[in-house]
Chains A and B, each alone.
Chain A
Amino acid sequence: MTVSRNKLDRKDIDKMGLLSILEQSCFSFERMQAPGFVYGMIPGFKKIYGDNTEEIAKAMSNNMDFINTEPHMATFLQGLVLSLEEAGQERELIKNIKTGLFGPLAGLGDAIFWFTLLPISAAICCSLSSQGSVFGPILYIIIWGISCFSRIWFARFGYKLGVGAIEIISANAAAISKAAGILGVMVVGGLIPSYISFAFSESFVAAGGVSVQGVFDGILPNILPLGFVFLLYWAFRKKGVNTLLLIVLVIVFSIIASYLGIM
């Protein structure tokens, strides 16, 4: 007996896109985003299979495995899974596609949202905030609100591509990640002088009465913040120092510098 399947329309996909906002609900170390991933697709499964609870149950259980990806990319994958379910693809195939894609997609999504949009929006909005303007946080809320509701587009995109998605992603992921990397790194370079204040106090003088800060400024303005970031980068990268330990070390260093009166 063949299982009858109903078609999904644009409204169903858009609804799934909105429900995917809850994708990280009930996040646990064991299977990470699995419960929320299933949650968003339930109305779609119900529409496809109607009263056939057996198939709904199978479709739900099929997606309860470990998944961890960037949230927008999860929406994309949910759209993809729904299109494959609707087309009546083998469950094993659906599972394999999902499992194979969520890792590479996480890298792509993180490059776009965490490493590019977050530093840029934070930089612009913080400079407004620190000038005392309420538009800092308001603009931030608007930017990320748009980003959030763009999930509807990701849902449609994933649904539309279906199995064809795999080729397109693997063909363009490297170029997109590289471009996002350039954008993000250059912005971070631009943030260093404005957001790190690392300067010795004027009363801190070397032998002969030369201001220590003056010496550094003579070489290159902001060389201390730049050097400081590279020092921290080195500690993370080469020495594998724990983040929390490094934060505590920075605070301890600051208190000692304050006690000695050099900063």
Chain B
Amino acid sequence: MEITLIQGILLALVAFICGLDSCWEAFYWFRPIVVAFFAGIALGNVQIGLAAGAVSELAYLGLMTIGGTVPPDPLMAGMMTTVLAYTTGQDVKTTLGLALPFALVAQWFGIMCNTLFAGFLSPLDRAAEKADVKKFNGIIYLALAIKAGLYALLTFVSAYALQNGVRAFVDSFPTWFIHGFEIAGGLLPGVGLALLLVVMLKKQNVAYLFIGFIMATFLNVGNVLPIAIVAGAIAFISFQNDMKDKKFEEALEAAKLGGSQNDGI
């Protein structure tokens, strides 16, 4: 379906608001599930937004900004998975893969901003030295406006201005190629989960991975909440035991200390 000018502007507005949160990582409105939902509302098709959000949120789960690294952009992924599903009529699993180039462009914009804003530091330093709060805050608001504005611009261009070109390009793909992207849509959440495991998985907790996996495979659970509750219970038990061990060790240390003193006498 065609995206109208009004829809294009609404999408850019969504990108601007979520783009602010992409700087802050505060409300998590930069996450694909929220971006896609808002984009669905802007397009007047909430169902596409919900489906696209579910698929892209999971694919971009483990891609985190820890330590200042910049991964493919989740905001743009959620946005374009929705927009492409709307314009091309393809399944959201397919458009998840097709949205990757847009997420990459946003990633480059992110790297560009993080580099550009290093140049804002010396004016900020000077404002701090003079306690010039107005100037200090002004520079910060300018940086926010630049980054969120870039998101809005990129969205408007990709979703509205270039839509015919993108659609024609996608329409020229053979069926097996499109189906390949659909398969990839089913596999990509694995990348997110594996990335989470790279940071979380340790010898002391690897057993719980298999317990969770077997529960999900053989119990008829609608979502992961029951497993999360059992996991929370186990985590709580572990925490309490660790605390008990620590107290015990401290008592042991104290006893040892007292004992040696007695020997001295």
Contacts and interface: CB of A to CB of B under 8 A. Distances in A.
Interface of A: 21-32, 34-36, 38-39, 42, 46, 53-54, 56-57, 60-61, 64, 68, 71, 106, 110, 114-115, 118-120, 122-130, 132-134, 136-137, 140-141, 144-145, 147-148, 171, 174-176, 178-198, 220-222, 225-226, 228-230, 232-233, 235-237, 243-244, 246-247, 250-251, 253-259, 261, 263
Contact of A140 (B34, B49, B186, B202): B34
B194 A255 contact: no
B223 A124 contact: yes
A154 B74 CA distance: 27
Interface in B23-58: 23-29, 31, 33-34, 36-37, 46-47, 49-51, 53-55, 57-58
B197 A233 contact: yes
A199 to B, nearest CB: 8
Contact of A185 (B68, B71, B97, B209): B209
A128 B58 CA distance: 13
Contact of B120 (A26, A114, A175): A26
Contacts of B225: 124
B187 interface: yes
A54 B78 CA distance: 47
A225 B191 CA distance: 11
B147 to A, nearest CB: 9
Closest 5 CB pairs of A and B: A189-B212, A255-B180, A197-B186, A258-B180, A232-B194
B143 interface: yes
Q: Which of B137, B205, B211, B242 has the most CB of A within 10 A?
A: B205
Interface string B166-200: 00000000001101111110111111011111111
A190 B97 CA distance: 24
A185 B201 contact: yes
Per DSSP, chain B at the interface is helix
B235 A256 contact: no
A232 B190 CA distance: 8
Given A28-B118, A259-B177, 9 more contacts: A71-B24, A124-B224, A141-B29, A185-B209, A185-B212, A187-B231, A188-B212, A191-B216, A255-B177
B184 A28 contact: no
B248 interface: no
Contacts of B124: 26, 35, 64
Contact of B118 (A25, A29, A114, A125): A29
Contacts of B214: 189
Given A28-B118, A186-B208, A192 B66 contact: no
Given A145-B27, A179-B236, A263-B183, A29 B115 contact: yes
B256 interface: no
Contact of A181 (B189, B202, B224): B202
B193 A115 contact: no
Given A120-B224, A255-B184, A137 B53 contact: yes
Contacts of A28: 114-118, 120-121
Interface in B87-122: 97, 100, 104, 113-118, 120-121
